[in-house]
Amino acid sequence: MKKTTKATRFKAVILTADQFEDMEVFFPLFRLLEAGWQVDVAAPSKEQIGGEHGYALQPDKTIAEVDPAEYHMLIIPGGFPDGAPATVRKIKKAQEITKSFFDANKPVASICHGPWTLASANVVKGRHLTSFWHDGVPEDVKAAGGIWEDKEVVVDGNLVTSRWPLDLPAFMREVMKMVERIEKK
């Protein structure tokens, strides 16, 4: 299932894997599609992946196939602690993609356990961010030099983070502000 709308010059990529948090993938996916963006979902393989609450999707490409230069925004959602976030954070190419977005000062949005990948990519030193407050995520963020805050959404330059699915309205409000800035360039 290719998740694109009309021809657009704006593209986002979502890095995830099996056992993702359904709302944290589909809410940004649908909202960006609604805004006219092309959104590719990248996973470790092109095999169908499933969410915690029973929704499934077919990835558009593998994480290995992602060329960060082709995209304007990176989204890293969460999921079961031993599911998608644990899988994605261990993939060297996912870490390289994440680092590439930070090096280019391109927007990155991550929620729940997704910031584990940011910590693993060593891009949070001195940055303010939030995440799920349990499962060792704040500790890993702090160990990587991040400044962890318990807020529904934290914006630090090109980085937007939130804690969990109930923060999605605040998360997407800030993501859509980044979308507006990108589209005005």
- Domain with 145 in it: 11-183
Written as one string, the DSSP assignment of 130-164 is ---SSTTHHHHHHHTT-EE--SSEEEETTEEEESS
Mean pLDDT of 46-60: 97
pLDDT in tens, 159-181: 999 999 999 999 999 999 999 99
Q: Is residue 113 among the annotated active site residues?
A: yes
In a domain, 4, yes or no: no
Q: From the candidates 53, 72, 113, 128, give the one annotated as an active-site residue.
A: 113
In a domain, 6, yes or no: no
- Distance between CA atoms of residues 61 and 18, nearest Å: 14
Report pLDDT digits (tens) over 98-109: 999 999 999 999
For the chain, give the mean pLDDT.
95
Q: What is the CATH number of the domain that holds 115?
A: 3.40.50.880
Q: What is the pTM of this model?
A: 0.95
The pair of structure tokens assigned to 136 is 């060792």
Residue 61 lies in a domain: yes
Q: What is the pLDDT of residue 1?
A: 44
Query: 5: pLDDT confidence band, cut at 50, 70 and 90?
Result: very low
7 pLDDT more than 70? no
Cα separation, 179 vs 29, in Å, equals 13
Which DSSP helix (H) or strand (E) runs through 181? helix 168-184
Task: Supply the pLDDT for residue 8.
Answer: 72
Residue 1 lies in a domain: no
Q: Average pLDDT for residues 35-62, to the nearest whole number?
A: 97
Q: Is residue 98 part of a domain?
A: yes
121, part of any domain = yes
Count of domains observed in the chain: 1
Tell whether 57 is covered by a domain: yes
Does the residue 125 lie in any domain?
yes
- Residues 75-103: what's their mean pLDDT? 97
pLDDT confidence of residue 118 = 98
